[in-house]
Amino acid sequence: MRLQQHRGPMSEINVTPLVDVVLVLLIIFMVTAPFLQGGLEVDLPKVATSGMDVREGLIVSVRRGGTLAVGERTVPEGQFEDALKRANAANRPVYLKADQSVPYGEIVQLIARLRRAGVAQLGLVTQPAEAEKR
């Protein structure tokens, strides 16, 4: 007569398939992460009923015709970066106000100039929708 071996439940867990799946997911995330980054980094103001307090920041304005102003002072285009340094724009939030007639390409170029000047916190100022209906 043969001795029958009784097989009970296995108390060990095989983690090899789990490790394989985790490594494959890690590789997928490592490959796809650079493709997810891109575009223009802009900290836009959040929609709020009370609006944002822009008094602590520096307002950069682009008026009709492309005239630049840093704070309340109109600045020639060649002295724009110097005016940003004098206003300490790299260490405080900057809010960009632009006339709607200014072409989009000029706004993008201005944002690039602000980034090169060291501006880290940039917000775009818009007019609320309720004010347009009045």
pLDDT > 80? residue 9: no
pLDDT > 60? residue 67: yes
Instruction: Judge contact between 93 and 56, C-beta under 8 A.
Output: yes
Report the share of the chain in percent with pLDDT over 90. 8
Report the share of the chain in percent with pLDDT over 70. 76
Mind listing the pLDDT tens digit for each residue in 14-46? 888 899 999 999 999 998 887 776 544 444 444
Average pLDDT over residues 104-130: 83
Instruction: Judge contact between 118 and 92, C-beta under 8 A.
Output: no
pTM over 0.85: no
Q: What are phi and psi of 7, to 5 degrees?
A: -95, 120
- pLDDT given for residue 45 in this prediction: 41
Write down all domains in the chain, each with its CATH number in brackets. 58-133 (3.30.420.270)
Give the span between the Cα atoms of 48 and 60, in whole angstroms.
22
